[in-house]
Structure 1
Amino acid sequence: MNNKGKGLLAVLGAAAGAFALWKYKKMTPEEKQRLKNKATDTGRRIREKAGEVENTISEKYNQLKNTAQRETNQLKNKAEDIAS
């Protein structure tokens, strides 16, 4: 992307941020609290999903590691049988 495109994106981003701030300042306290609650809930759900993904990856890693170790041991045993 050329510099004009990057500059335009930067201006649009700043404008969007200014609009969001203006909109937030115009919200009622109840609307602000609903927005905060939604952000908190979304953050909590993201952390839960990240934990689930981490657990799944750890389980798969351990399964692969154990399978590789078993196969390595089987190959060593076959090599020893052939050598003897």
Structure 2
Amino acid sequence: MTEQTYLRRDKAAAYLQERYGAYTIDTLAKLACVGGGPKFRKLGPFPVYLPRDLDDWAQSRMSRTVSSTSELGAGSKGANK
């Protein structure tokens, strides 16, 4: 069995801020309601996140590496092409 570290929402937001410079506790709370956020589980009343799920989600929202925004083209926001 592998050891897993679950982060409560405040720690998950801090993790994303430190690692990617983006996302707040309010954003994670909103996305948990409307969808489109990172995977989470409930531990009693608390949402908890795995760091690997946070990383997968954040990376899925990033574009490919480019030298200019013109390389992204229209409609490719977050596309990993």
Superposition TM-score tier, normalisation by shorter sequence: under 0.3
Whose helix fraction is larger, Structure 1's or Structure 2's? 1
When normalised by structure 1's length, the TM-score is 0.22
- Pair member with larger Rg: 1
Give the structure, 1 or 2, with the largest relative contact order (CA under 8 Å, sep 6 or more).
2
When normalised by structure 2's length, the TM-score is 0.22
